Amino acid sequence: MAKGASLSGFPEWLPQERVVEQQVMDTLRSIFELHGFLGIETRAVEKGSSLLKKGETSKEIYLLSRLQDLGNENDEPVEERLGLHFDLTVPLSRYVVENSGAIAFPFKRWQIQKVWRGERPQEGRFREFVQADIDVVGNGDLPSHYEVDVPLIMVEALEQLRAYGLPKATVHANNRKLSEGFYRGVGLTDIEGVLREIDKLDKIGADEVSRLLQEECGASADQASACLQLAELSAANGSELREKFDALCEAQGVDKDGEAYALALDGLNTLGMIVDEAAAIRPGAVIADLKIARGLDYYTGSVYETFLEGVSSLGSVCSGGRYDNLATQGKKTYPGVGLSIGLSRLVSHMLGSAQASASRISPAAVLVAVWDEEHRAQSNAIARALRSRGIATDVAPIAAKLGKQIKYADKLGIPYVWIPSTLDDNGENTAEEVKNIITGEQIPADASVWAPQEEFAKRHVEVKNAD
């Protein structure tokens, strides 16, 4: 990371690190578009009223103030003020409503963009970072098969990034209806509060979550225990999940003829469908994990967290879920389902643990040498000829000795140095030559036909340590 990037949580990549980030972005975009998703970009700011839809995250929102307004911010309600968006889902909901007449539904969009959160920086967690999202939004309704499609597309995208040193990724899925129905079935009423506390289970442990459920959500010790038992449930398929869930409900005295159980069963059936259908396409890619809660208010159904094998310290690198009521226009709703990759978190891991790096700093494959400033036009003409054929080319900044120009190319990782024609001792023009400074090979060349060897033509990402 760039030295001098002293603002904690605001990463600045060096040029060679930026190459890795760009390659990751290009890889994700190609997979998203392979599945028919459309690219958009939304504005960086939203009204406070929109940003506050996410509930607990409101304390992390960066609000905007003009310099001349300092000291008077409290005169305007937070709902009316502008703030930087902290994810790409809330802006998407506003975008869909405002452009519903021009959008073909279901609307499948990808978006790779910066977001901002005022949280405490730590490993893989930044205050300014890039997210890569895909969402499918319907008009009035949205088929449940998208709740299988979207996580599998993300797994496919993450699988492509394994070439850059990323470990295997697995999506852990749950369903909000299943959790809510069970919580109501054991007598709890502060459902959003319970979900937020259960969402902390991996971070603070079962004992602390139990304490918070009792102190913050009004749960008894037995109710807190029941919530933790639900979170511990796991199963290989939908039928096994149903058996274990029914056994837990019976043990906790949940009325199977009541509305709470019916709600839980609706979520259970969807979760079982997701796990079974995903297993038929990509075995092991999506598993049921009933401790996944996603402590965010707008999720209404399936919820997902994605973890990398052997890198527990990073936490979830891709999360999301189904939301039926986030985007509304009067009585009309636009239900959606989506997942978001923490791209900056992945890049940070790749640059660190995996030791991913660019094969060279400069995108140029060729540096055209300059004999003297009087003949710079000759070098520029060679560069134009090479660029016209799609060969990335730079021209030496100063007419130094040839050895110094070669050293300059080497510092930038440019593999070829083009040596223009000049007059020899007999006053005759020498042949133009190109030197591969990596292999040492030097041959006569014509800018209208010469091409670099494939391995040197473009930059790529190399991984020194894939463990």
Instruction: Report d(CA 301, CA 54) in Å as an integer.
Output: 15
Q: Strand 393-395: give its sheet, edge to edge.
A: 393-395, 366-368, 416-419, 433-436, 442-444
Report CA Rg, the chain: 28
Other C-beta atoms within 10 Å of 388: how many?
Answer: 11
Question: Which two three-digit tokens encode residue 232?
Answer: 């511990």
Instruction: Report d(CA 124, CA 120) in Å as an integer.
Output: 11
User: Does 62 appear as a known binding residue?
Assistant: no
Strands 336-342 and 356-358: unpaired
Beta bridge partner(s), residue 336: 137, 323
User: Does 229 appear as a known binding residue?
Assistant: no
User: Does 135 appear as a known binding residue?
Assistant: yes
Find out whether the peptide bond into 106 is cis, omega within 30 degrees of 0. yes
User: Does 176 appear as a known binding residue?
Assistant: no
Other C-beta atoms within 10 Å of 259: how many?
Answer: 11
Beta bridge partner(s), residue 442: 435
User: Does 131 appear as a known binding residue?
Assistant: yes
3-class SS of residue 71: coil
Instruction: Report d(CA 215, CA 218) in Å as an integer.
Output: 6
Instruction: Report d(CA 395, CA 141) in Å as an integer.
Output: 57
116, 88 in Cβ contact below 8 A?
no
Instruction: Report d(CA 91, CA 77) in Å as an integer.
Output: 20
Kindly state the DSSP code that residue 431 receives in the 8-state scheme. P
Residue with tokens 């039926």: 324
Instruction: Report d(CA 313, CA 451) in Å as an integer.
Output: 46
User: Does 88 appear as a known binding residue?
Assistant: yes
User: Does 299 appear as a known binding residue?
Assistant: yes
Instruction: Report d(CA 44, CA 87) in Å as an integer.
Output: 10
Instruction: Report d(CA 16, CA 393) in Å as an integer.
Output: 18
438, 455 in Cβ contact below 8 A?
no
Q: How far apart, in Å, are the Cα atoms of 414 and each of 359, 362, 385, 437, 457? A: 10, 6, 18, 8, 10
DSSP string, 5-60: --STT-----HHHHHHHHHHHHHHHHHHHHTTPEE----SEEEHHHHGGGGGGGGG
Kindly state the DSSP code that residue 429 receives in the 8-state scheme. B
Binding-site residues for L-histidine, please?
87-89, 117, 131, 135, 294, 298-299
Binding-site residues, please?
87-89, 117, 131, 135, 294, 298-299
